[in-house]
Structure 1
Amino acid sequence: MVAVKVVLLLTVYGIAFLALLPFVIKLLVSLERVLASLGALLAALVTLALLGALVAVALYLWYWIAKAFVRRGCKEITITA
């Protein structure tokens, strides 16, 4: 049952990520145009750093959501003789 909940959570998270992806790409493209005036190499480095930060935030949020979801679904194991 817990595995089903985790799979459903990952599915919802994946759908939400795909829904927000076009907005993130538009933001990065507009930001890259602004940074391009500083130089191509600097703009590329800043864009890659921002993408890395977005992935790190997404993974951090996913970790805490999944951890809370699994913790709520799991009950303490009791052994009776």
Structure 2
Amino acid sequence: MMLLDSESRKSSCLNCGSHVTRDFRRVYGDREDRAHRCHECDTLVRLQRGSAGGLDVPIPGPWDGAPGRHGGNPERWQ
């Protein structure tokens, strides 16, 4: 019974509490398969560089107030 409880806690993003799949945690999470960030609270670019695994990444996050969703110049994507 304890294993199920542990698994259910791991299935939530540690930052925003959103559900994250086992595969997401395995690929992007830390060594204990925990997701520190997810698609709901961070950008794909940052997740791919390690933010879901708890690493600091040099790309500004969407919460930093930088123009454009990925912290860059929004005109660049047009």
TM-score past 0.5 threshold: no
Report which structure shows greater RCO (CA 8 Å, sep ≥6): 1
More helix per residue = 1
Could you state the TM-score of these two structures normalised by the residue count of structure 1?
0.26
